[in-house]
Chain A
Amino acid sequence: MTQEHRKAKKFGMVIDLDKCTGCGSCMVACMAENNVPFRENETDKLKSITWMRVYKLTNGKPYPKEEICYLPRPCMHCEGHKGHSPCVTVCPAIATDYDMDTGIVSQIPTRCFGCRYCMAACPYHARYFNWWDPVWPEGMEKSLSPNVSPRMRGVVEKCTFCFHRYQLALDKAYAEERRELEEHEYQTSCTQACPSDAITFGDLLNKNHAVYKLKKSTNAFRLLEKLGTNPKIYYLSSREWVRRAGDNYRPGEGTGKIKSHH
């Protein structure tokens, strides 16, 4: 009964920062999809759980030379070296893991015991700790999705690339006697919701997927590549200051092959 292996995937995302408007749809699409809890005061952003967070970058110049760029930040699903992403390496509970079949960094909150090593290890602040038990106002728990398990106090949670959508898409494919998915069958909630089509999601190894081509753009960059995290989120920006903000260079180092389009 041993089955032949499904071809290994490496799911990743390309986010076009020229198109991103900072509207916040991806953030809410993520919250609504993943039963993300909310509290009375969400203005302490270190404690506010947002698997997908849109950061605002500025070029630091005085009025009216200031420029703004919004940067959506999901989990980077770092591959590191052979799957040894920063968080996976430090987890003492195997609550977070790297899957070579999908390239997804999994997070199993029920296994987590809340030591928060992974949060310290993650250079992207993509991980969030549940300081409180989630509480939904009376009646609103009806809006919770059964596809994602609500988390409890004392565990870490983060973006999963909407892995449950992959599970559900595979269910459908298996029922139709297929093993492989079409590109459109597995898309994350944020990708689907973005009204500006700034987010593209797919298999970075599959030549037929949009992300394969997009990540090769000369405008493409990843965040903090110099740390060797080998992230799977690529960003596109035609603005040099934005690409530099990705901080891929040590002090004094040039911008390398990235060319300015201005």
Chain B
Amino acid sequence: MKIDRRYFLSLGIGAAAGTALSPLPWKSMDDSSIWSQNWPWTPVPPDGEATYENSTCTLCPGGCGITVRKIDDRVIKIEGRKGHPVNDGGICSLGLSGAQLLYSPTRLNGPMIKVNGSFQKISWDEAISKIAEKLTDLRLQGKSHTVAAITGSPRGTVPNLFKRFLDVYGSPNFLYPSSFEDSYSHLAKKTHGQKALPGFDFENADYILSFGAGIIEGWGSPVRMFRANSNWKSRHIKLVQVEPRLSNTAAKSDKWLPIKPGTEAVLALGIAYVILRESLFDQGFINNRTDEFSAWREGVLETYHPARVAGITGIEQETINTIGREFARAKKPIALCGRGEGRTSEGIGEIAAIQALNALVGSIGIRGGAFAVPEPDYIKWPEFALDETAADGLNQKRIDGAGSNQYPDTDSLLHRLPRAILSGKGEPVNAILIANANPCYTLPDTQTVIKALKKIPFKVSFSTYMDETAALSDLILPNHSYLERYEDVPVTWSLAKSLIGLTIPVVSPQLNTKNTGDVIISIAKAMKGSISDAFPWKNYTDCLKTTLGKYWNPLQNNGYMKISNYNPPEKMTKFVFQVPDKTFPVDPEGDEKVLPLILIPNDSMRLSAGSTGSPPFLMKTVSDTVLKDNDTLVQVNPNTAKKYGLKDGGYALLKTPRGFKKVKIYLSQGIGEGVISFPRGLGHTAYDKYLADKGVNFNELIGPVEDPASGLDVAWGIRASLTKV
């Protein structure tokens, strides 16, 4: 039989008909569609029991309460904790991204040592004995004072363990980055006779005069400030923002005073002039609570006539008069400063001028006013004995000149460390311990910082992440993430009443990390003798429990604790007027003839400019007028752009005395002519592909400018030029 085309067709038709009547085509189609809707490579998050745990956020100094949502043992979301005195349920975008930090591939897994330029894993025991040996060695050579430590803040048990370690080891070089808090603290020493932190009762104030403080850009405890700002809007409280740029705070204020950069304190004294001239000040407060009023008044009336101030600041005389009257006539006005996030310090003269406004209207130490808040003093550890080496070492001069005759009231001048290392003879610093800080990113003149740190033969990082500083270190002893450890969080930033928060281990450590507190205690114990004796605790948890004593249980149950009901002693409600000298406006670095523009930084809640690198979610919120592809955009007034032939979105070379970078131009009417603004928080070289090599680090373009009174770095901007490329 010949099988011809007809039979073949018939077979085919039969097969087609049979197939159509079988489940094969229909079921395959259905299954294929189900398959294509559920690709096996699309992750399916496992379900489980949802639980919530309360803890404290440490990603900035704000100290917000957080509620961590977990599914079984996974952290899936971080929310603001309802009822928490700082943030009451609110939370910022960085805090919300916390789970991405916990599970970040940039986290360090286990201790590592650098061998021939690359890191190798070692055990914890080895790492701790390596440090102990090295430090013991230096001590035996009488070089204990050449060991330094940098911590993110001077407060809390872990920084104090570092300080105690250095003390008993024999080094005075305990360093930390300074902020506007340090300037206030300095002023408090002059006016109250003791150091104190700035506190403001914003919740009860009824007129806010802000000299550049980025109230909704991360200043103080950010979420608390957001809540306060929102509350002002509901109560129709007036917010006056003095700032060269239309920042978010300026945009949200009721009155924006676009001031010439750096002249804020001059304006404050111009406003003071109006209040003095029109006798609008609080006579009772002046008489009973202040000193040096007449001398100060004379100084102000002599130099700060509104007409002259208008010329310096660019704010019209009539406006100065109006603001002066409004401020003095408000029931509970507050004047504050601390530019942007308040990350940089301000001159003592400037702070004194602005704080004097609060004194003039009696807004010090009362409800709705400014407070001088004493440092939290819950850390009371037993005295320790210094051996001879330690006593000798401690007597040596600090490397940064803080506490010297020139700056007796300054505790730390971290910005001076790089110069001291580079210009010092021999090896001024032989070893450095760095915890909870990323100086190779956050310090001004970053390239010099990196150069200086490279000169230190033994650098130890305690970072949780592979940040710029960790990458440069010789030894890394990674800390637990804040969601895996116990630690006390003293919250001071601008709160009228300080608070202690507690982080709790919400999840067990995901990686081979150790609490830095434990590591310091272990190193001390390994070094034996008086050093070991100064650390009588079994481990860090034991230390924390002992330190907090009766506070431990309430803290564990509640997550936070207000430090007693603080009633300020009388001296803390007084004010000593500081006769204005000629220390401000502080000139920005650079030659005006070559560098005709002024470059100022800007802070934003959408970028983390501190030691925590922005997680991927945060980077997603960054506007394309701040970062486009890998280019930073510099905010320029169209008139400035015209003058230098720059186009919106075009490239330009940005030059300052500290360096030059290629940037893109963002034309905006939110900034005046001759001033340009640059976002902080970009230009990381470490971390992962979501953050690294994106944009330019502002700190590389600016250098420190010192306040003559305190030695603190008070650079608020720098001279610059823009050239089309």
Contact = CB atoms under 8 A, between A and B. Distances in A.
User: Are A and B direct contacts in the complex by CB distance below 8 Å?
Assistant: yes
Contact of B79 (A36, A48, A63, A192): A192
A21 B229 contact: yes
Nearest to A21: B216
A193 interface: yes
Interface stretch (A79-87, A143-151, A214-222): A143-151
Interface string B32-69: 00000111011111111000000000000000000000
B222 to A, nearest CB: 8
Given A25-B91, A38-B620, A196-B230, A63 B606 contact: no
B43 A38 contact: no
A42 B93 contact: no
B672 A23 contact: no
A28 B499 CA distance: 27
B176 to A, nearest CB: 27
Contacts of B627: 43
Contacts of A69: 251
Contacts, number: 196
A141 B47 CA distance: 13
A56 B672 contact: no
Interface stretch (B99-107, B402-410, B577-585): B99-107
Interface residues on A, range: 35 or more
A201 to B, nearest CB: 14
Contacts of A61: 669
A28 B618 contact: yes
A146 B46 contact: yes
A58 interface: yes
A32 B77 contact: yes
For the side of the interface on B, what is the size category?
A: 35 or more
Given A110-B37, A196-B226, A63 B248 contact: no
B670 interface: yes
A54 B625 CA distance: 13
Contacts of A254: none
B624 A43 contact: yes
B280 interface: no
Contact of A35 (B45, B46, B93, B637): B45
A3 interface: no
Given A43-B624, A110-B38, A138-B105, A19 B230 contact: yes
Interface in B597-631: 605-606, 616-625, 627-630
B2 interface: no
Interface in B67-111: 71, 74-80, 87, 89-93, 96-97, 99-100, 102-105
Interface of A: 16, 18-19, 21-25, 27-29, 31-33, 35-36, 38, 40-45, 48, 50, 54, 56, 58, 60-70, 110-111, 133-134, 136-146, 149-152, 192-198
Given A32-B77, A41-B630, A140-B103, 12 more contacts: A18-B233, A31-B617, A33-B77, A56-B625, A58-B670, A64-B258, A65-B669, A110-B37, A134-B42, A137-B104, A138-B105, A139-B104
20 contacts: A21-B248, A32-B78, A32-B617, A33-B77, A35-B45, A38-B616, A40-B689, A63-B246, A64-B246, A67-B251, A68-B246, A110-B38, A133-B39, A140-B103, A143-B75, A151-B42, A192-B80, A194-B90, A195-B87, A196-B227
Interface of B: 37-39, 41-48, 71, 74-80, 87, 89-93, 96-97, 99-100, 102-105, 216, 222-223, 226-227, 229-230, 233-234, 246, 248, 251-252, 256, 258, 510, 605-606, 616-625, 627-630, 637, 668-673, 688-690
